[in-house]
Amino acid sequence: MNIIIGIIVILGCVLAGFVLAGGQIMALFQPLEVLIICGAALGAMIISNPLSVTIGVMKSAGALFSPSRYTKALYLELLALLHDIFNKIRREGLIAIENDIEDPHNSPIFAKYPMIVKDHHAVEFIADYLRIMVVGDMAAHELDALMEQELDGHHQEAALVPTAISKVADGLPGFGIVAAVLGIVITMGSLGGPPEELGHHVASALVGTLLGILFAYGFAAPFAMYLEHKMREEGRFYECIKACLIATVNGVPPQVAVEFGRKILYHSVRPGFTELEERVRQK
């Protein structure tokens, strides 16, 4: 929703200011300038990134208009799930969760938390490290280092798409100048013609510069920043899991272990202590 509101505010203010100053909106309608600027930016992005990143940029359009999935409700489910697992480990030992982690989608514990089960990567992350805890007999600092390396690699990979969009934003003003120069070249070829025709060509060239700057700082750069925020939210989700698992390896009781994860969450989505306690009792 905030993306749509932002786009409306940007376009509304720019167009309103132009019209109130006596401009004609149709003078800004220059589809060939848009073709030059956006086509050149797309080509530059294709050249500078692996195909997987370019495809990721295309797919990210859906993420721009979808709300964040990392809500308080999701974290309540995550922490309640981890509490159930840790409680089973404390009562029956690590070997008792072997069936749950080998086939999480058919596990009675995981089945109670559909929001988590839908996230294949989260389920795989939890199951993998529980499996290591069962068979690896690793010290807490060793498990912490391993998780840190995996999460660092995950964050770097996730940053490729917003970084690619940010680089496009940096280049768009330059491509706007390219479109403007091409417009001036056309204008030079029309010298000696009617003044109205020359004025039209000059206006088209200037619109190219305008569009390059507007696309860069009004759309591409904010889109990249929005994706970076989503990336940080995802990173915090996995950091929460990590904190809970490390606390359990250190022998912390289940209720306190999930507190380690709850405490590192952003305040906007952090469940209260009582909320989490009631959710655990409910399940």
pLDDT 10s digits, 197-213: 777 778 788 888 999 99
Mean pLDDT over 17-24 rounds to: 85
- 167 Cβ partners below 8 Å, 6+ apart? 45, 48
Query: Per the domain annotation, does 3 fall within a domain?
Result: no
Residue 190 domain flag: no
Count: domains in the chain: 1
| Domain with 223 in it | 31-61+69-178+206-283
Residues ≥6 apart with Cβ < 8 Å to 31:
none
23, amino acid identity = G
Q: Which of 151-160, 188-197, 220-229 has the lowest mean pLDDT?
A: 188-197
Task: Count each helix (H run) and each strand (E run) in the chain, helices first.
Answer: 14, 0
- 6 within a domain of the structure (yes/no): no
d(C-alpha 36, C-alpha 88), whole Å: 62
Dihedral sign from CA coordinates of 125, 271, 68, 157? negative
* Packing angle, helices 160-188 and 140-158, rounded to 10: 20
Domain for residue 169, yes or no?
A: yes
Q: Is 197 part of a structural domain of the chain?
A: no
How far, CA to CA in Å, does 18 sit from each of 22, 172, 273, 274? 7, 22, 53, 54
pLDDT at 193: 67
Does 156 reside within a domain? Answer: yes
Q: Would residue 193 count as lying in a domain?
A: no
Q: Among residues 154, 1, 163, which one has the least CA distance to residue 68?
A: 1
Residue 187 domain-assigned (yes or no): no
Mean pLDDT of the region 32-56? 93
What is the tens place of the pLDDT at every residue in 88-116?
Answer: 999 888 888 888 888 888 889 999 999 99
**Cα–Cα distance for residue pair 91/127, rounded to 1 Å:** 19
